[in-house]
A and B are shown apart, each in its own frame.
Chain A
Amino acid sequence: MTTLNAEPDTPVPVGIEKNRVRGGPPRSEILRRDKWWAQPLAIFSGLLAFIVYATWAALRNGHFYAGNVGRDYLSPFYSPCLTNSCTSNGYVWGGWTWWRLSPAIPILIFPLSFRLSCYYYRKSYYRSFWLSPPSCAVPDAGSTKAKSPRNKYSGETKFPLIFQNIHRYTWYFAVIFAGILTFDAVAAFRFHNGIGMGLGTLIFVVNALLIWAYTLGCHSCRHLCGGGLRTFSSANSRHFIWKNFVSKLNEHHQLFAWLSLFWIAFADFYTWLVATGAIHDPRFF
């Protein structure tokens, strides 16, 4: 790492001297009176609940496609459908007869990497899981203890967190998956006796819309569509997209991150209920 202070003839400026006595009581004394712990606790609980559900959903390897009851509903955890369980019902994907594990595993790597490196989720889990920091003006876990291994902090400058910088590549795949889930939403209008619409169809349409709202509001998307330009005046169409579309979605990135996360699990759960025959999917027309 190059620093100005490393220049041989440049004295270390007074303001960057370390270990001077700092203002106020010791950092270990938390002075905040509000419920600063409530938000990280709520986020921790929400993400943990999703992890538990997603693990069960990904490993159950069954009842992820409702073709057996005349519905073309495919769980987003298993989309695109890689196995013969869908092709036997006329689904367009499939054919991975050699794959022995749950087909959700190779699929979920892509949306998982997108969400793990997402700028919003990074904030969420750095705060609620890694406690770095748990809340503003609350010390990082372990940072007040001299001998704690958590006393050193290098942020996203070293392995493994430096890999957060691949976010734009995960976004490229996320766009492909958003397209696939859109296909699934359209396919959900297909019934064994023609075009129709059931409650599941509505759920899959909402799922696709939320996935697009989350994917296109991504900070990397915002950069790639125009935010990376130094000037906008020579790129009017990119400015229009950046300002009126992507930045607007980006303002609500947190909201869409949670809504889409919940809805994916809900769509999977609904598909499972329909596929197992636990409930009958009401058909509107």
Chain B
Amino acid sequence: MSVENTQPQVGDDTQQKQVTLKIWRGDASGGKFVDYTLDYLDGEVVLDAVHRVQSEQAPDLGVRWNCKAGKCGSCSSEINGKPSLMCMTRMSTLDLEEPITVSPMRTFPIIKDLVTDVSFNFEVAKKIPALQPKPREKDGTYRMSQIDIDRGQEFRKCIECFLCQNVCHVIRDHEENKPNFAGPRFLMRIAELEMHPLDTLDRRRYAFDVMGVGYCNITKCCTEVCPEHIHITDNAIIPLKERVVDVRFDPVAWLGRTILRRPKPTSSEEVIKLTPAGRSANTPS
């Protein structure tokens, strides 16, 4: 007499695999994780599964998304505690035997469910003076050599998902630093401008005094979570720190500038005048 095996077999299509998503639900008044169980579908990313929860079980679920292609940076969240893009995290890469936690970015104020208020980043962006280009060539154009813009082009891959801002412990774990620390994305922006062949503004003192590059202790979490694989720490922040050393902490460099009568580094106050806030403050009313 044979006993039938009732356990689901590998490749057995009759047994639909189930997955559980633990999604953070709530707003500024409070929140909790809520379990949603749904069928596992091959080839899905976490955002697909969250959308199915939204369409089938929780139509009021708040989730920000746009391109579903890792290019708009809207669907940043924390999947199993790791800052990630929902649209770039395949379900098949996760342990489906355990519930998958999906929570909002923990550095920014919550709006609803998975949606956070990332306006901190836009306020910081306003503190960075735009490109101050040198005069045009005689034929009215600007010219740049490729080797001069190679470094900056890596930084232009940034999709502003703000995962690096979210994971940076300087503001994630010490919120009091928010007014004094720009975060990796914007330190990278300053580094990009400092390496720009057409730019004429010296932002090195400003990077330390106002944007707080000294707060970074280069633990490289920004680089680890970047979905564009930009070497934020090695290619942007550390080079920026070294440039700051040139103007703040290196007496030999100071002596060299003095003897060779090189221009003095631009003060932070002068740079502030070129920011949008600084310009409006200096406009006569």
- A residues with CB within 8 A of B: 1-5, 7, 9-10, 12-25, 27, 30-34, 119, 122-123, 126-127, 132-133, 136-137, 139-140, 143-144, 151-157, 161-162, 165-168, 219-220, 222-223, 227-228, 230-233, 239, 250-251
Contact = CB atoms under 8 A, between A and B. Distances in A.
B81 A23 contact: no
Which of A15, A18, A152, A168 gathers the greatest number of chain B CB atoms within 10 Å? A15
A139 B210 contact: no
A30 B272 contact: no
Interface string B201-216: 0000000011010111
A23 B210 contact: no
Nearest to B125: A15
B107 interface: yes
Given A33-B80, A133-B219, A119 B238 contact: yes
7 contacts: A2-B272, A10-B277, A15-B117, A15-B118, A122-B218, A136-B219, A219-B242
Contact of A219 (B33, B116, B238): B238
B221 A133 contact: yes
Contact of B178 (A16, A126, A136, A168): A16
Nearest to A163: B249
B44 interface: no
Secondary structure type dominating chain A contacts: loop
A219 B78 CA distance: 31
B98 interface: yes
A1 B207 CA distance: 12
Nearest to B109: A20
Contact of B173 (A13, A14, A139, A223): A139
Given A132-B169, A165-B248, A1 B221 contact: no
Nearest to A240: B147
B269 A140 contact: no
Given A2-B209, A223-B239, A123 B219 contact: yes
Contact of A231 (B148, B180, B269): B148
Interface string B177-220: 11110000000000000111101000000000110101111111
Given A33-B80, A230-B196, A7 B277 contact: yes
Contacts of B147: 232-233, 239
A33 B173 contact: no
Contact of A27 (B101, B172, B277): B172
A143 B173 contact: yes
Contact of A22 (B110, B114, B127, B218): B110
A79 B99 CA distance: 57
Contacts of B101: 31
Contacts of A250: 234
Contact of A136 (B83, B195, B217, B278): B83
B50 interface: no
**5 nearest interchain CB pairs?**
A31-B81, A23-B104, A15-B119, A155-B215, A32-B81
Nearest to B222: A136
Nearest to B121: A15
A166 B217 contact: no
B202 to A, nearest CB: 10
Interface string B253-277: 0000000000000001100100101
